[in-house]
Amino acid sequence: MKKKYFGTDGIRGTVGQPPITADFMLKLGWAAGRVFSKQGHGTVLIGKDTRISGYMFESALEAGLSAAGMDIRLLGPMPTPGIAYLTRTFHAKAGIVISASHNPHEDNGIKFFSGEGTKLPDEVEFAIEAELEQPMTHVASAQLGKAKRVDDAAGRYIEFCKSTIPANMEFRGLKVVIDSGHGATYHIAPNVFEELGARVTTLGNKPDGLNINDQCGSTHPEKLRQQVLDTKADLGIAFDGDGDRVIMVDHKGELVDGDEILYIIAQARHGEGKLQGDVVGTVMSNLGLEHALDRHSLKLKRAAVGDRYVLEMMQRDGCVLGGESSGHIICLYRTTTGDGIVSALQVIAAMNRSGKSLHELKSSMTKYPQVLVNVRMERKIDIAKSDIVSSAVRAAETKLAGSGRVLLRPSGTEPLVRVMVEGNDMIQVKTLAEEIAEVVKAAVKAA
């Protein structure tokens, strides 16, 4: 069965266009409340990022949950991983996140966490969708859910973040620039690092409801790079709008992406004898990560693109560390979901223990040039079954001679085929990517 509303990361879209409307959110709160109430009366937490539509959807979800007889705890602006953590510590039935992550303010979405702080299983999402098809009802007046605001939510999560590094570790003398992307970490991240002793300069920490992810944060690190260089900081840290992704900048202004962050953490954990299982990346993880891990006798497993699939592979194969190039890093030995602040803390802890700078730690991994070409499909075809495309891919792989790879991946959200070629020669990689893209275009046209 295919879900009608839920995608790989909750329900997401443009504000004002179905299903991202106030009336749908009212019904969604009720439907979710109906499903959660079958486990008995309890509480659902609601948190959000800083986009303006969060006010409207928070109220609608609250009303729907109350109509279904569920109590509500309102967390206010809070990073997605913070909501996952608080859902566990409150022993809540579920947690709801109102966020569209790294997207602009015009978009919004809903993610759910189970009582264990993990994403909902498919059967629960199907159950919620089934309730959405039913007429909305109300429990008796005496059974309506009550709502309270959690005033110390930020403080609770700050203390949790600090607890993910050794209690005797301090960051005194460390100069850090933090870009919160005018998002949900704006009042959390600076406090975490300041309380650990770092000298913090802030960017992107004045949200107005409209400026979330606007030329700032993990998807636009240009201002962060310049600020690190201008202030001669030791490093910079950029989060996305809901705080589950992180990108870093070293003291030379060089970007440190998710693959490099994953390598630094894996290398440090392995050196301490604390890394359990393999490291999980995605089919898009840089080949340089695979080769760098191999030098430490560590294996990179590749999941489909999407943190949901990374987490599924980690849980299935008994791994505790995984992530994506975008900076969505999952440290299961510390928490249950991707957490930008926790991941950054693990990197700085590795710096602290080794006495090395961020630049030194990431320099032992050499990234391979990677070229991505998007080919639009006027009509949908199964590229994998095209003989001329398969032949072009094999020819390219022969030319790469084991020093690179080719990946063709249909987009899950757009009518596109993504052609990715990776290798140690940028000119060759670019040429091969363009050649394969032309073959794909011809195959689409001929279909």
Q: Residue 4 CA to chain centroid, in angstroms?
A: 23
DSSP class of residue 238 equals: E
**Could you tell me which of 55, 53, 58, 98 has the C-alpha nearest to residue 79?**
98
Beta bridge partners of 56: none
Rounded-to-integer distance, Cα 152 and Cα 44, Å = 17
Q: Which residues are catalytic?
A: 101
Rounded-to-integer distance, Cα 215 and Cα 220, Å = 5
The per-residue DSSP string of 257-315 comes to: -HHHHHHHHHHHHHHTT---S-EEEETTS-HHHHHHHHTTT--EEEEPSSHHHHHHHHH
Rounded-to-integer distance, Cα 321 and Cα 278, Å = 8
DSSP class of residue 384 equals: G
Beta bridge partners of 256: 248
**Strand pairing class (279-282; 321-323):** parallel
To the nearest 10 degrees (0 to 180), the angle between helices 340-354 and 153-162 is 30
Rounded-to-integer distance, Cα 265 and Cα 342, Å = 11
Token digits of residue 166: 């050794």
**Could you tell me which of 271, 268, 298, 293 has the C-alpha nearest to residue 365?**
293
Token digits of residue 109: 């979405």
Beta bridge partners of 336: none
User: SS3 for 158-175, per residue?
Assistant: HHHHHCCCCCCCCCCCCE
Q: Residue 347 CA to chain centroid, in angstroms?
A: 17
Instruction: Judge contact between 66 and 58, C-beta under 8 A.
Output: no
Q: Residue 197 CA to chain centroid, in angstroms?
A: 27
**Could you tell me which of 63, 66, 53 has the C-alpha nearest to residue 26?**
63
Alpha helices per DSSP H over 77-203: 80-89, 122-132, 153-162, 189-195
Instruction: Judge contact between 27 and 136, C-beta under 8 A.
Output: yes
**Could you tell me which of 272, 233, 238 has the C-alpha nearest to residue 253?**
233
**Could you tell me which of 171, 177, 173, 246 has the C-alpha nearest to residue 205?**
177
